[in-house]
Amino acid sequence: MKIKVLIADDQAILADGIRSVLSSCPELEVVGIAADGAEAVKKAEELSPDVVLMDIRMPNMNGVVATQEIKRRRPETKVLVLTTFDDSDYILNAINNGASGYLLKDTSSSALIDAIRNAYAGDTILPAKIARRIADAAKLVSNDREIRLKRKFGFSDREVEIALMLYEGFTNKQIASALKLSDGTSRNYISAIYEKMNCSGRSEAVQKMREALTAAEL
């Protein structure tokens, strides 16, 4: 069964070029092209693509909003952001709204095809620059918060780092990618955090951390 791909880009020449590249791969089928974010949302519902290649800066609805809306309506659809380096803030927003990662528009044909395959398989596509930004975002939390959580729950340095990333809303895959951990190692750390907090999952852990941090501020 072929991987169905929807291309969302307001530059028709670029969209046609991407379609030509993908058409050379027998595993992929381009089911449509959208010229803006609103059309991407509409066509994602109509065409049920497995993967959407999403430009960020488009008229009518940008790629971040379109990504959020597509993931709300079709959570099983993977969204890969297409952009340039100067769109880093948009990229991080898109990832936090459900995108599976991002690609540069000057990526090679083989890398583009591999990224689509990997996104379809459930992997997160995060080149080094954005992985560093995610790690840096986690480090922006104050040392005071780290100390409070260590004292309250007995976390190690790595555990408190991961706990704060959970608290800030990062997904398991984003944590693994940012900290250069395997998915299994990341899951083991998260399980240890839950055990130390005596809780069964993320929502309960976040609530307990919120209560601990709020109580400390009173």
Q: Is residue 131 part of a domain?
A: no
Q: Give residue 140's pLDDT band: very low, low, confident or very high (50, 70, 90).
A: low
> Could you tell me the CA-to-CA distances from 111 to 102, 117, 135, 173 in Å, in that order?
12, 10, 24, 20
Rg (CA), the chain: 19
Q: Is residue 115 part of a domain?
A: yes
Q: Give residue 177's pLDDT band: very low, low, confident or very high (50, 70, 90).
A: confident
At residue 125, the pLDDT reads: 87
Q: Tens digit of pLDDT for each residue in 178-204?
A: 888 999 999 999 999 999 999 999 999
Pair (112, 174) in one structural domain: no
- Residue burial 82-117, b: 16+ Cβ < 10 Å; e: rest: bbeeebeebbbbbbbbbbbbbbbeeeeeeebbebbe
pTM equals: 0.65
Q: Is residue 175 part of a domain?
A: yes
Q: What percent of the chain has pLDDT over 90?
A: 60
Pair (115, 165) in one structural domain: no
CB 99 within 8 A of CB 65: no
At residue 11, the pLDDT reads: 93
> To which residue do tokens 């380096």 refer?
85
> 74, 103, 125: which is the final residue of a domain?
125
The whole-number average pLDDT for the span 156-172 is 90
**CA–CA dist 84, 105 (Å, integer):** 6
Q: Is residue 195 part of a domain?
A: yes
CA 104 to chain centre: 15
**CA–CA dist 26, 30 (Å, integer):** 11
Q: Tens digit of pLDDT for each residue in 48-105?
A: 999 999 999 898 899 989 999 999 999 999 999 988 766 667 777 788 888 998 888 8
> To which residue do tokens 């309250």 refer?
152
At residue 143, the pLDDT reads: 66
**CA–CA dist 9, 175 (Å, integer):** 29
Kindly report which listed range (24-28, 65-69, 169-173, 185-189) carries the lowest average pLDDT score: 169-173
Domain that holds residue 177: 137-217
Q: Give residue 135's pLDDT band: very low, low, confident or very high (50, 70, 90).
A: low
Per-chain mean pLDDT for the chain: 88
> 125, 157, 186: which is the final residue of a domain?
125
